[in-house]
Amino acid sequence: MSDYSNQVCNKSLAFDSKWFQNVCINSAAVKCNVAAIKNETKCVNSEKKIKTLLKAIELIDLTTLAGDDTPVCVERLCIRAIKPLRKHLVDKLVGLDKLKQAPKVAAVCVYPSRVKDCVDTFEKLNSRVNIASVATGFPSGQYPLTSRLKEIEYAIKQGANEIDIVINRNYALNGDWAKVYDEVREMRNLCGEKAHLKAIIEAGELGSLSNVYKASIASMLAGADFVKTSTGKVAINATLPIGLVMTRAIWDFYVATGIKVGFKPAGGLRTGNDAIEWLKLVYTELGEEWLNADLLRFGASSLLNNIERDLFRLIYGRSPHDYEVSF
């Protein structure tokens, strides 16, 4: 993954109501498949676990979306993004031939008003990763379309090259998929080639797995580059059953159109084991081609610290002291 993604942006396709007819999700089968994935990840050996956790680091959208975010807070986030592991741990991993060079995360994710802070910090550091910004009335999406579009425009002008938008859940809950499509398409058109578009469907508030599937399809038809599970600001965020349904939608869309759309689980990913389970799910449902930062991201704030601690335990055979890891 380069410092700055060069993935080609998606384009809108014509709305087709056939995608939303006769959608039936077998909840029992979903639970069975998820249980199989969880069982398979229980017996991962140390060698494979280290490799998988290092892969997970490169897929993280390192996120701060707090009301008390400041330029200093964002500067720390950006420094961590380009140096996600402590130097002594990187040196140890390189020495053990587990790592060729120090990793970076995929992106930082901030509010629009903090994007310029990211740009300024990366210029000072002479290094960068992708800059993502939440927009469109995050997290509720309960704002007029005109103001949501202006928010996208502002974030891009400030320097964001990825925009995480929120779909209108009112339209989704009413089954008005054409309106969901129309709004996301306008957002896609505004992003153009300047920014990748990640559509947050807020799956935990959609009422059913069928709606999760349909919201994913509507967003992809409208031109979303990624479909994202959640804002991380509601009671139910990224769960493996939701992820399985969304990845099936991505696969169905790919088979029908030849277009590869990315996937971003966000909210509730905290432990190294969480990352391993999600990587296994994506590998099982979409294949190895999706296991890169152009097609898979993890939205998280605490995941990186926990992965660093897991790597320390696996390498040194003991728990780290606080001064030996980041916090």
Active site residues: 164, 228, 264
The two structure tokens encoding residue 296: 């898979």
- State the CB neighbour count (10 A cutoff) for residue 142: 11
Q: State the DSSP string of 244-307.
A: HHHHHHHHHHHHHH----EEE-BSS--SHHHHHHHHHHHHHHH-GGG-STTTB-EEESSHHHHH
Buried residues in 1-13 as b, exposed as e (16+ CB within 10 A) = beeebebeebebb
- Burial class (CB within 10 angstroms; exposed 0-12, middle 13-18, buried 19+) of 25: middle
Residues sharing a CB contact under 8 Å with residue 262, sequence separation 6 or more, in sequence order = 198, 225, 226, 227, 290, 294, 295, 296, 297
- For residue 193, give the nearest of 2, 1, 8 by alpha carbon: 8
Sign of CA dihedral 71, 200, 233, 302: negative
Distance CA 84, CA 308 (A): 8
DSSP for 119-188 reads HHHHHHHT---EEEEE-SSTTT--S-HHHHHHHHHHHHHHT-SEEEEE--HHHHHTT-HHHHHHHHHHHH
CA distances from 220 to 81, 128, 178, 276 (A): 28, 28, 12, 26
Residues 136, 149: Cα–Cα separation, whole Å: 7
